[in-house]
Structures are given as structure tokens and as C-alpha cells.
Chains A and B, each alone.
Chain A
Amino acid sequence: MGLRRWLSYLVAAFSIAALTTVLKLLGAHVNATTVALVLLLDVLLIATRWGSLPALAASVLAMLCFNFFFLPPFGTFIIAAWDNWIALAAFLITAITAGQLSARAKRRAEEAEVGRREIERLYSEMQDAFKLASHAEALKQSEKLKSALLDAVTHDLRTPLTAIKASITTLLDEIRGRTKTEPLVALDAESRLEMMEVIDEESDRLNRFIGGLIELARIEAGEMQLRRRWGAIDEIISAALLRAERFTRDHNVHVVIERELPVVRVDDRAVSEVVYTLVENAAKYSPAGTSIHISAQRGGEGLIQMSVEDRGTGVPVELRDRVFDKFFRATRDGDISTHQPSGTGMGLAIAKGIVEAHDGRIWIESGADEKGTRVVFTLPIGDEDPAEMLKTSVAGNVKT
């Protein structure tokens, strides 16, 4: 820095000296005013380039040179004419003022630059901090979610276990004939059967739950392998209805499929699973004797829209998104009077996973007359490749 400063003074002095020499050589061709202006210009340049102190030094030097070489009597520092005193003073003041001004402008610009850099730095720091904070927040949220899920999972695992444990110990107690304190009334055949039924049903429930967990984990890990092939919607629906028959015995099931519906390129088993889940839910959450409507139709550009509608109590608007969350159950049980085991809270989450893996959408709306529940989902028909479409549909026909 010190070197740079000395250099600046040196350059200032040199440039004034050089200019003076050139101007002197030009001699009579230039008058005093021109000389003053040229020197002034040099002072200005020095001020802009090197700052106020070298400019000040330059202006003093320039003033001396101007006086010595260009103001009569030449070769002396004596000034004869009184108006030249004024010219010299004006020169000096202008030089100093211009130097100061331009130096100040330079300083301002530098300050502004420093300020800008500081703001930039602060901004990026802030951004980093913000990123970090939102990352931490997201982590916290996800931890919270995880523990909520864990709670739900443990509850869903422990509930059937509790029923199993209580049943089996009741049966064991009788066999061992433990009549410690109070008389044991022998279990009648019906009660014994009931305990065993509970054990059977609850083990199935545990198994279903675990199966659902695995399915969900696969969907969430993005590992769901869709085996897409061209298939007919009516086959998908009838396969689902066949499976759901034991739930829908007491309901009137109506199926309406639009005529000449194109074949769709989907994982037919997965989509059938979606329909099955929706039908099972419809049957579980609507009273016996009511009807369940299943429909399939074109739903806009390249889409098939399917829906399952029941005449049950419906899902409140505020819960319509949440029912697709895993482990969320709008009601914990089916009908209390039936011994229907309650759901796993995963069916709709899995259905949503399957539909979305097909780039479709699933949502809930009110049924006709604002009664009941209608679950609607869309599926893209699939890649429009007529040749392949023909091929597979022919192959499909041959197979059937």
C-alpha cells in the first residue's frame, strides 16, 4: 500500500512535469489559459485515479510550474501583472476543489461498492441461515410425523394383540382350571368359539396390517413396479367386485360403464386393488340395504374417470384430504353392532399411491343429493401407440 501511494505521488509529479515540458516546447502556440486548462485536466485525472492527496500535491506543483514557466516574467516565481495573481489563485482553487470533488466521488463509489458487497454478503448469509432453518424445521416436522406414525402403527399392532392375548388367556384359564378366588363358570361352547374367532380374525387383521405396511413402504420408496399392460376397465372392475363380494352381500351394487370405453394401459391388478379398496370402504361405511354405485367413463383428454359412491354418512369436507393420509381413519370402527374388524387406515393411502403412480388423481366428493361419499379417480389412458394397442388388444382377445 505504501509503495502504491509513493507511486501515485511520483506519477502525479511526473505527469505535471511532462505536460509542462510539452506545453513549453509548443511555446508561443499556446496561451496561458490553454496551459491552465490542460494542467487542470491532469489534476482532475490524478484525483479520479489516485485520490485527493496526490491531486493536491499535483495542483500545487502545477500551480508552481504554471507560474514559473508560463506567467511573465518567465523563469521566476514572481508575478508581475495583478490579473495573473487572480488567474493563479483561480487555478489553484479550481484544481484543489476539482481534485477534492472527484476524490470524494471516487470514495463514495468505493464506499457504495463496499456497501453493496456487504449487503450481498449479508443477503447470502441470511439465505444460508434461512435455508438451514427451513431444513431444520422440515427435519423437525418429519421427526414429528415419524413419531405420530409410529404411535399409529403401534396402536394398530397392539390393539389386535390385546384382543388375542385376552382371548387366549381366557381359554387357557379355563383349561388350567384356575379357580383361585372366585368360581369359574365354565365357558360354554359358544363363548369358546367366540374367543377362537376373535383370535382368528385378529391374527388376520395383524397380517393385513403388516401387508399394508409393506405395500405402503414400497410405494413410498418409489419402488412400486407398475406392470402396465393394455386392459379393459370392465374386467378390472369385475375382478375387484368378485373379491369384495363378502362385504357387498347386503348392498345393492350397480355398475355403469360407458360404452366403447378404450382399453387402458395400466397395472390392472393394482387398479383393481384400488377399486376393491373403495368398494370395501363403501360397504363398510354405509348401512346394509343401501346401494353402491360404481361408474367408469371418459374424463376429459386422454383420461378415464372412475368412481365408487355409497349412501353412507359421508366424509366431512375438512377430512376429505386427510382420509388419504396413512393410518388416518375418519371413524375408528365399522358399524358397532356388526363384529366387522376395523380398517387398517392404510387402504386409501395405498389407493392414492397406486393412482398417483399412474399419474392419475384421486379425490372425494359428496354423493348424489349431497348424501354419502363418492370417491373419484382418474387414470391416463396410456401411451397412444395404435400399433401396439392393436397388437395387445388382439393378444388379449386371443387369451380370453
Chain B
Amino acid sequence: MKENARILVVDDEPQLRRVLRTGLMSRSYDVRAAADGLTALDTFNDWHPDLVITDLAMPNMDGLELCRRLRAISQVPIIVLSAKGEEQTKVEALDIGADDFVSKPFGIDELLARVRASLRRAARPVTNGAVLTVLEAGDFRIDLESRNVTVNGREIHLTPKEFDLLTYLMKHAGKVLTHRTLLTALWGGNYVEQNEYLRVFVGNLRKKIEIDASGPRYLLTEPWVGYRFDPGA
């Protein structure tokens, strides 16, 4: 059996560190905990965890700064724990490069699900250098050369922008993508405030890929934050 995945938990609340350590260890993860961002960076450098779970409000370097520092040195998946009232900070964390978030208070199963998804995504083979011609995940298959897209074997026709959007979503499946991230990726930095562009394209794309566009299964809305793409089983 392969080595257990290592998870670094960063929270200034001792009780939450206790609970997360126990909860995660019961699922065979190796866990270490840090009480603030600075300690977390030290542990990260020594221990090289596979995933970081961090609180946002902490003394001695908050979660936001920790995300920034981690992204500067690593692509490790980061899940932020956020509370209501910290939405702005949460979005900033995601913009900086955090992969996902869980809102407090949370059930351990919800956190575990996010942990699994993030680890899966990180484990996907990185296609360094090799030219990727076909993206396949869940119910979706995108042929980047012929621009042929199928959902569950059913061929769909997309406009060039919709195609770009879906390709981007596929490449970042499972990850929470903020409005800003998507707008920058698809239209460039001048359009970061134009959320309505995005809404229109997401709406159109849903009509084509979803069975029920008003109850989407694949292209999910993260209220006030952005979107998450779940390619299905």
C-alpha cells in the first residue's frame, strides 16, 4: 500500500487542531498541525505535505499570506477554512491560488470530500511539455485539435468562447474558480469586473452541456465566489 498522504493543518484554535488531527488520522492521513502561518511554512519546508488546510484569521501571518507564500514555492493543494463574514478574504485566497474552501462550521465528511477531491486533482499526471490533444474526465471528452466535444457520448456544438470556457473548466476540474480567475483566463485582465459576461457564457454553456440547465450537475455555482466544474463520475 502506498504511503499515506500528508496533510498540514494550520489553525490558531487548539481545539480545532485536535479535532482535525484525529478526524483526518482516522482516515489514514498523516497529519501535522501548526498554530500560525510562520510555523506552517517551517513545517511545510521540512515535511513536504501533500495538502494544506488553513484557517484565514490567524496571528503571526494570516491564511492569506500563507497561501501567497506557499504558491510562490509550491503547487500543493490548499483548502481554506472560512467563516461567514470572511467572504472577501476567502475570494482573495482563492484568487491567490487556494484550491477550495470549507465554511465553518463544517462536518468532517464535507472536509474529507474536499480533501479527497484536491488530492485526486493533484495526483493527475502533469503533462509537462507533451502536447495534450484530448482532455477526458468523467462524462466529458474534448478533442483540442478537432474542437470536438462530447458529453456522455453526445456531441455538442460550442461557440469558440464557450469552447475556451469548457476547456479551462476541464483543466481545473473540481477546483473553485473565482469570477476574477475565469474572467482573466478567458478575456484578459481588463474584464475582471465584468461578471455579467461570465454569467451569460456560463448560462449558454449550461444549456448545451447540462440535462437541466436550471439544476446544473456539472457546472456548479459557488455563491458570491465563482464556479466549480464537476465532470461527473
Contact = CB atoms under 8 A, between A and B. Distances in A.
Interface in A140-193: 151, 154-155, 158-167, 169-170, 173-174, 178, 181-187, 191
Interface stretch (A80-88, A291-299, A331-339, A386-394): A331-339
B135 interface: no
Contacts of A163: 13, 15-16, 18-19
A165 B105 contact: yes
B27 A184 contact: yes
Contact of B59 (A167, A173, A195, A332): A332
Place the interface of chain A in its size category.
Answer: 35 or more
Nearest to B58: A332
B16 A184 contact: no
Contacts of B16: 159, 162-163, 166
B151 interface: no
Contacts of A178: 109
B216 interface: no
Contacts of A167: 19, 23
Interface string A314-340: 000000000000000001110010011
B68 interface: no
A331 B35 CA distance: 12
Best-surrounded residue of B23, B26, B57, B116 (most CB of chain A within 10 A): B26
Contacts of A198: 15, 18-19
A191 B25 CA distance: 10
Contacts of A186: 26
B105 A166 contact: yes
A341 interface: yes
Contact of A341 (B15, B19, B26, B109): B15
Best-surrounded residue of A160, A162, A202 (most CB of chain B within 10 A): A162
Contacts of A185: 25-28
A201 interface: yes
A97 interface: no
Best-surrounded residue of A161, A163, A178, A201 (most CB of chain B within 10 A): A163
A182 B116 contact: yes
User: Looking at chain A's contact residues, is the secondary structure mostly helix, strand, loop, or mixed?
Assistant: helix
Contacts of B25: 185, 191
Contacts of A182: 27-28, 112, 116
A27 B210 CA distance: 125
B104 A170 contact: no
A94 interface: no
B26 A191 contact: yes
B59 A331 contact: yes
B106 A191 contact: no
Given A331-B59, A333-B13, A336-B14, A162 B106 contact: yes
Contacts of B15: 159-160, 163, 198, 201-202, 339, 341
Best-surrounded residue of A169, A201, A340 (most CB of chain B within 10 A): A169
B27 A164 contact: no
Interface in B1-33: 12-16, 18-20, 22-23, 25-28
B108 A173 contact: yes
Contact of A191 (B13, B20, B22, B85): B22
A158 B13 contact: no
Nearest to A183: B28
Interface of B: 12-16, 18-20, 22-23, 25-28, 35, 57, 59, 81, 83-85, 104-109, 111-112, 116
Interface of A: 151, 154-155, 158-167, 169-170, 173-174, 178, 181-187, 191, 194-195, 198, 201-202, 331-333, 336, 339-342
Given A166-B16, A332-B59, 13 more contacts: A151-B85, A155-B83, A159-B104, A163-B19, A170-B23, A173-B109, A182-B116, A185-B25, A187-B22, A201-B15, A333-B13, A336-B14, A339-B15
25 contacts: A151-B85, A155-B57, A155-B83, A162-B13, A162-B105, A163-B13, A163-B18, A164-B105, A166-B16, A166-B106, A167-B19, A167-B23, A170-B22, A178-B109, A181-B116, A182-B112, A185-B26, A191-B22, A198-B15, A202-B15, A332-B12, A333-B35, A336-B35, A339-B14, A341-B14
